[in-house]
Each structure stands twice: as structure tokens, then as C-alpha cells.
Amino acid sequence: MLVGRPLGFDGLFLQSFCPLCAKVIGTVHNDREAIHYQANHMIIRSSSSGFSHPVPSDITSQAAYQSRRDLMRQLAAGSAGLALAGWGLRDAQAQMTRPGQLPPLASVPTKLAGAVVLDKPTSYKDAASYNNFYEFGTDKSDPAKRAHTLQTDPWSVEIEGLVKKPARVNLEDLLKWGAMEERIYRLRCVEGWSMVIPWIGYSLADLIRRVEPLPGAKFVEFVTQADPKTMPGLRSSVLDWPYLEGLRMDEAMHPLTLLAFGMYGEVMPKQNGAPLRLVVPWKYGFKSSKSLVKIRFTDKQPVISWEKSAPQEYGFYSNVNPNVDHPRWSQATERRIGEDGLLAKKRKTLMFNGYETQVGQLYAGMDLKKFF
């Protein structure tokens, strides 16, 4: 166990009310500290939190992990616990007011562990004007300028492949397939910038369970709209169209994987992927496909668009990993949009974008330098 690391704000806060709580937090935090990069065979390394498990047997069991959480919860049951429990969510909600640009989309606060980060949310103005959506152009401002041409009504999604219940589902019905939750996720672009966005949607797993994949379905492929009449960027040869993405089935079924229909309390802006998109918070942003028109279940690993375009630079998994650089730049740090002042420092990038505790076990025993 590593010792001597500062407790940070949460630890200091608890320490003032309950020294024993602070001690437990410090112990659990330090137990999860990074181990090493072993020779050239890097398995899973954490820079700040989560598990370190070079082989499956090294993974902290769910029971042990839950036991620690329960102990912390019990210790914090007094005034300190009550004060801390609502601090993060209240602070985040206080910073957000509905922008009033689009119709509202009702939701309830999520109860899913890890689905609300305490980082300050990015302003709606920045989140809606600084985008990658190459179907409308390659400049960051192009989607906001051009995506008004996107026709989102009517809209349907075709569900096909290895499922018992293939169907073409209208957007109105998809909106009813799960309970709408607000989740505040970090978004990390492979280009080295990041945001924090309050999304509205439900776990993709809700949709997957409803269509009942066949036993042979090992992967899920996502297809983005490709309409030359409304998407001027399709004239570019930067990628083969339509845009294709994919997830392993266990990744798609993970509760953090979100099918998002809105953000900031409103329906999804067109430039951000209306009317529905994928959000996979522990992967680089290009894995979160926008404006979905097809979800296909398959037994073969899909060849995703960026992997096909530049396989030496973009892999199928594309998990956020500060220890595996892009061939042309470092992934160790990131620039948070909205913190762009002259003296602003870059942030250290977190393993799996800070979601290692939730998703690290998906990649136990994998060489993440090889399977990038």
C-alpha cells in the first residue's frame, strides 16, 4: 500500500467531521494507486483511482469492493455523511440552468454509481459550438454552422443482425424503452481536449435486453446517418461513409454506456448528434457515434471508420489511456474546454477517463498497448 498521499478535498472535508471516515477514504484510495508499467508489457495502470490487475485473479472482487463502500457509507452516516452525500450533485446542478435553446427533455437524477462526476460542467455554449462531426465539416465550428440542415423528424433506427427481435423502431418508441436519467460524464477527445457534459438518456443495455441478442452475438456495430443532401461533409474523402463504430458486447451492456437523447435538460442539438447518439465515457470521443440510424449485432469485430482510415493511429478499443500515446501526440494530459486562459494548465488525463473503478475489470489481463 502506498502511503503519504494527501487526502484531497473530500478527505479533508470528512476529516473535519469524522477522522475515521477520512482514514478509510485515504486507505481505500491508496490501495487503488498505480502499480507499474512493466517492461514493454503494459497491462492496466491507474494514475489516480481504480483497480490494477495484470491477471484476472488480481481483480478486487465485487464483494470486497462493495464491502469497502458500505463501510465508508456507514461511517459517514452522521452529519458528515449527510453533508457530503448531496454536495457533488447539488454543486453540479447549481452550475447548470436549462439553456432555453431547444425543447426540454424530462429526466430524473441517476442513481448509477459513477455516473455523476464532480467536475464543473462545461458551458452549454462551448459544448454546442466546439464539435467533431465530420459529416458537416472538419473544423470545430462547422457542425454548429451547418447541422441545421439535418432532418430529424421523422427518425427511426433499424435494429438487425443476430437478435431475436429485429425491428425498425421510431424515435417516439425508442424514447419509451428506458427511464430517462441525467448523467454528468467526462468527455475526452483523442485530440487532447475534454469537456464535462450532462447527458440525458438510458443505458444501452435496456435496448439490448429488449431485442434479445442471440448467443452468437459478440459485438454491436453502430451506423451514423449519411445523407449527402443534408450533410455537406460527406463530399470529403477523409473517411469512408457512413461512419461506423463498434463495441464488444460486454462494453455495450455496461450500465455506463449511454444511449443519449438530450443534454443540459433539452433534446439533443443537431450538431451534437441529434436525435440520439451513443456516449461511452471511458473511451475517446469518436467511439460515441452520433445520429444513429442502425444498430447491428454481429459475431465478428467490426472494422470501425477511424481504424480503417488510419489503423496505426486508431484502434478498435480506443480506451482513454494516458500511458499509450497517439503516434503524433501525448495522451498524458488534456485541455479542458472553458479553461483556456493564458495561464491555464493542462489536466492530467485519468486512466479510462476516471472510470477505471467501474470498467477496469472488462480489460483484465489485456495488453492495452497492443489492444489500443
Strands (E), 101-153: 108-109
The region, left, alpha or beta by phi > 0 then psi within -120 to 50, assigned to residue 328 is alpha
> What is the predicted pLDDT for the residue at 341?
74
**Dihedral pair phi/psi, residue 266, rounded to 5°:** -130, 170
H-helix or E-strand spanning residue 64: helix 62-75
Chosen CATH of 97-318 out of 3.30.70.1070, 2.60.40.1080, 3.40.50.300, 3.90.420.10: 3.90.420.10
> What is the predicted pLDDT for the residue at 340?
76
Give 64's contacts (C-beta < 8 A, 6+ positions apart): none
Averaged over successive runs of 10 residues, the pLDDT of the chain (372 residues) comes to 38 38 38 36 40 38 45 42 43 68 97 96 98 98 98 98 98 98 98 98 98 98 97 96 98 98 98 98 98 98 97 97 97 94 87 98 97 95
Cα 169 to Cα 195, 211, 247, 293, distances in angstroms: 31, 11, 21, 10
Give 107's contacts (C-beta < 8 A, 6+ positions apart): 180, 181, 182, 200, 262, 265
Cα separation, 8 vs 76, in Å, equals 17
> What is the predicted pLDDT for the residue at 97?
82
Cell of 248: 464488444
Q: What is the pTM of this model?
A: 0.78
Cα separation, 144 vs 200, in Å, equals 20
